[in-house]
Amino acid sequence: MSGPLDGITVLALEQAIAAPLCTRHLADLGARVIKVEQPGTGDSTRHYDRTVRGLAAHFVWLNHGKQSAALDLTAPADHDLLHDLLERADVIVSNLAPGALDRLGLGVDDLAQRYPRLIIVDISGYGRGGPLDHKRAYDLLIQAEAGSCTITGLPGQPAKPGIPIADIGTALYAYSAILAALYERERTGRGAVIPIAMLDVVAEMMGFALNQVIHGGVEPEPVGMGSPMVAPYGAYPTADGLTVVLGTTSDREWRRLATDLLHRPDLAADPRYAHNADRVRERTALDEIVGVWCAQRTLAEIQQAADAAGIGNARLNGVQGLVEHPQLAARGRWRDIDTPVGPVPALLPPGLAQGWTVAAGRVPALGADTDAIRTEFASTAPNAADIGVRP
């Protein structure tokens, strides 16, 4: 069986995380992804570290299932080859530095006019126009500009989330927009230009905090392993030296936690804690009550009691705990992917319909497919004049 995107060709002028994660998910579903890299250096993430038996952890995560073509786009022959590729591509995804596409003569408006069926995804930090459109953008910089670091960590100690949410969120918005554009093209025959700004992505993710400030006039304070929106809800040490994460997200859950888990019906009846806004104000006192209760019990005892009471709970794991997580193993979430140093483990993509085939893929060495792509595409693409908009 072929994947749902079998027959779709994606040209990736990409680096770092946002665009590569987007195109890797397209490759997972069967699209042919041709990654164009600078000869000699390639994607910057190739050189972050040598963790995966000599390969970089980021690059292995983001690039399996792709072909690598090492092309110097400032050289006339390689620039012409790129246009040969564009003649037959369905999608182009780029997150190069501001102005890079224009300097290469690949401005999105020109591409859209020359290739009317092409879906063009232009990922940038701040979008086109505005006072910051010229600035380079990395995950931390965008999170700083968008305020997400100030609602993470502790009061007076802002922190960047360990996961690069600006990059990953941008990748997933680009991925979903491409799928929608492919569907639209089936109906109209026309491609699309999809500009995606990382700042816009994180601003969308900040929606609840924006509403708090716009309508309440108060900056939300970070609460570490908790949520500024609900209480009690956080991480609590247990009697066996582990940490349980549990709490409530509604008044009904609070009453269950107080009565059925803590066996404190007096708390459930106390008007100081009746509603979530009340409990948020009393967060410190409630965290102390829950913390004392957890410190007297093992993690297993707490989780068994919380499950019986219908209270959400989890174990605080490190990364090794995720590697060894029994839920991932029991559901067959791991597979092997091929690399230049042999097979290595990788997770299956999260969003798969029953019956879809996941492309096996491999992590390409820099320029591994350059010669084959030159042979296949150079001077063999249809003439631009023959590419029309199909009804």
Q: Annotated catalytic sites, by residue?
A: 167
Q: How is the chain split among helix, strand and coil, in percent rounded to 5?
A: 45, 15, 40
Q: Provide the CB-side half-sphere exposure for 280 (13 A, CA).
A: 15
Classify 211 as helix, strand or coil: helix
Query: Cβ–Cβ contacts within 10 Å for residue 310, how many?
Result: 12
- H or E segment to which residue 110 belongs: helix 108-114
Q: Are 364 and 67 in contact (CB under 8 A)?
A: yes
- Within 270-353, residue ranges assigned H as helices are 276-281, 283-295, 299-309, 319-323, 326-330
- Among 40, 20, 24, CA closest to 32: 24
Q: Which residues contact 76 (CB under 8 A, 6 or more apart)?
A: none
Going through the chain in order, the beta strands assigned E by DSSP cover 9-13, 32-37, 66-70, 91-94, 119-124, 153-154, 157-158, 192-197, 233-237, 243-247, 313-315, 334-337, 344-347
Q: Are 280 and 273 in contact (CB under 8 A)?
A: no
